[in-house]
Amino acid sequence: PAIPDGFKITGSLTFTSEVKSLPRDLDVGHTLSIQNNPNITKLPDNLKVGGLCLSGCSNLSQIPPISKYIGSLIIDRTNITELPDTLSIEGNFKASPYLEKLPTHIKCRGNFALEKCRYIREIPEDILLGKSLDIKNCPNFSKLPDNLVVPGDLMITGCPKFKKFPKNLSVGFYVYG
């Protein structure tokens, strides 16, 4: 069924492959989840969400300017290449393999994960982490910033260009690598 413009829901909203397009004005109080939907090529310009989960949206290449504060941000199996330059994530973050760079100023209170991100070479210097940092199978990843604080676990696996840990690295629990 078609969703009218100006649609608002205080809870979460999940779309599957059956939805062909989204309304121009969409307001989702909690998480907007769009899964395995090649029909979606663009998100509404006036998108308001508490959290955003995009998975398997192979024809989606950008997200509109979203609030710099967001619950969780999961972009997996999309063609999204960039994010807003400043981003504060209250929950978890997982990046798309096509993401070319991370925001310059990023704060993530949850877990921060990069998996199969072929273009990401380093974590920005101005990153504030709340839990774990997990970097897996990123072939060009080579650098963590000096003075990085990881309150949880630090996991770096399958990153052949990563050769050394930075100066003054602080990890709360375990280091895997």
Residue pLDDT, tens place only, 67-87: 656 889 999 888 888 888 888
- Residue 25: what pLDDT? 85
- Residue 24: what pLDDT? 84
Please choose, from the candidates 146, 154, 78, the residue with its C-alpha nearest in 3D space to the C-alpha of residue 111: 154
- Residue 139: what pLDDT? 97
Q: What is the pTM of this model?
A: 0.88
List all residues 6 or more positions away from 55 whose beta carbon is below 8 Å from its beta carbon.
33, 34, 35, 36, 74, 75, 76, 77, 78
Distance between CA 30 and CA 37 in Å, rounded?
20
Tokens representing 6? 């100006």
Residue pLDDT, tens place only, 131-174: 999 999 999 999 999 999 999 999 999 999 999 999 999 999 99
Distance between CA 138 and CA 114 in Å, rounded?
7
- Residue 41: what pLDDT? 87
Among left, alpha and beta (phi > 0; psi -120 to 50; other), residue 116 is left
Distance between CA 162 and CA 139 in Å, rounded?
9
